Structure 1
């Protein structure tokens, strides 16, 4: 058994197609199929159930896949560590991002990073703060940008607070409060709300603020993606509380939307988090580009 056979198995498992897997691995399909068949003979089990139209992992294949991915990740990390010791940063950098990230211009950051470390492959994943933090702890992501309620710290990871921000009220332009200079939570508690899905950190920020004020509100629309919320508000379906740094520029470009400050509204902190245990050379390189001192590898 060798690493290339493992890569072929992972590619077939992820594409569910031998032809697409061969294209991904830059090899002819007959060679990929032959190597997987040889591995199955060596293991004494079938890893894939095949037909003319379908390819699926067998139970043995499912058991093999997780360990194969771990082995490949370890091999890639070993190669990256060796290269870093020689002054070259390469490998993969897996970055998690919440969609409301505003403290850092992530595309601009990655542009600068790529300019300095062109041999690093970058994998981007969007998600909720809890999900991304858990992925960093599990080693599935190298680094992540999170947003948490003020006073709450990510657990089990290295963390750097990037920015503090206040939520503002997002209204349709024809709303009765559109001309208000400032409002309080009590004044807007009776509104119909558009918000994130219950149980997420994005939702928790506003839920906590209303609960601490002893107020109850009606969340009639739950959105899994932040980009949908302004569109719902613009249609007059409700109002929303969103971080000012994220929503301000979007609202300024849309005449159907108005932003009003909230005196006692939710506050959030944007965090950068990464693994406490042996961060990869690419992770240290990104921290260096961000200006986090003492963690910059040689370029």
Structure 2
């Protein structure tokens, strides 16, 4: 569809007259009429009727108008996306309350002049495709899941190893513990609805279960963190895992407990991914900020921590 014809259609609607629209667009009235006629041929309908007071929309014209305006807005967004320095830095995080979202909040506070969009994509393949197409500029992911080497044009750096904690309700048998070992969790039901098979975090928990004999249940619909906290608070037989940096707020009468896990401590590896040729001027600032504010061990794990074997080294 010819966007100039669509823009002319919107101008005629706004002006109410072909002649006034021609003046607004710095065109002749004949040129405006030709564009409208071509658009009507493309659509197969009449968009205007001539009336004593000017050009009036037909029923089809009124139906087409909101879509025409959305087309023009989409065109403007497309242009803005490739204008140097004019579009926001677009970064994908796994969850709005997770560690990666916290890192982006810290970056925004330290760089208030950077226009920022934060979004959430589920699967790593979706994130990689968005990075390669330019739809996003960066993504926080656990890198190196089995069978998923990064494409050569995608760069990555580990930015945070986040310890997992056990979250229980007040009546859980482990609620009073100051810390628990992975061995002590064997036989307990760890409920984590929302684990998506095939994702990198799904692979992480599969390996954790396989190595330590844990029982992780991903059954039931995922109604979000509030529903999860309500269930854990009310169900003595259930506990769940939470990242140490996950921001949680719950009613005081829930009495939830966040308990460190030891011997070893499972840590979740957060890496930043970006396209090697991405020219966004704020992307180096993000990488510099993360390098200055986060610390990651130089090896995949230490004797006190656990990571899957496929985790990319720092």
Structure 1-normalised TM-score? Answer: 0.63
How big is the alpha-carbon RMSD for the aligned residues of Structure 1 and Structure 2?
Answer: 4.7
The number of aligned residues is 255
Worse overlay, 260-269 or 158-167: 260-269
Tell me: CA distance 1:105–1:209, structure 2 relative to 1, closer, same or farther (3 Å): same
Where does residue 55 of structure 2 map in the other structure? none
Residues 153-188 of structure 1, C-alpha deviations (whole Å, 9 max, x = no match): 872322121111221211111111111231325634
**What is the DSSP-based 3-state SS (H/G/I as helix, E as strand, rest coil) of the residue aligned with 1:245?**
coil
2: distance between equivalents of 1:288 and 1:28?
50
Tell me: CA distance 1:284–1:166, structure 2 relative to 1, closer, same or farther (3 Å): closer
2: distance between equivalents of 1:262 and 1:153?
29
1: distance between equivalents of 2:285 and 2:75?
23
How do residues 79-228 of structure 1 correspond to structure 2 at under 5 angstroms? Answer: 79-80=83-84, 89-99=85-95, 100-102=97-99, 104-115=102-113, 117=114, 120=115, 122-128=116-122, 130=124, 131-147=126-142, 155-156=150-151, 157-180=154-177, 181-185=179-183, 187-191=185-189, 193-199=191-197, 200-223=199-222, 225-226=224-225, 228=227
Q: Unaligned stretches of 5+ in structure 1?
A: 10-17, 81-88, 293-299
1:55 Cα shift? 5.4
Where does residue 297 of structure 1 map in the other structure? none
Tell me: CA distance 1:191–1:278, structure 2 relative to 1, closer, same or farther (3 Å): closer
Q: Which is higher, the Rg of structure 1 or of structure 2?
A: 2
Where does residue 279 of structure 1 map in the other structure? 279
1: distance between equivalents of 2:249 and 2:131?
30
Tell me: CA distance 1:151–1:229, structure 2 relative to 1, closer, same or farther (3 Å): farther
Matched, 1:235 2:234: yes
Structure 2-normalised TM-score? Answer: 0.60
Tell me: CA distance 1:265–1:222, structure 2 relative to 1, closer, same or farther (3 Å): farther
Contact 1:170 1:260 in 2 (8 A): yes
Matched, 1:30 2:25: no
Q: Unaligned stretches of 5+ in structure 2?
A: 26-31, 48-58, 293-314
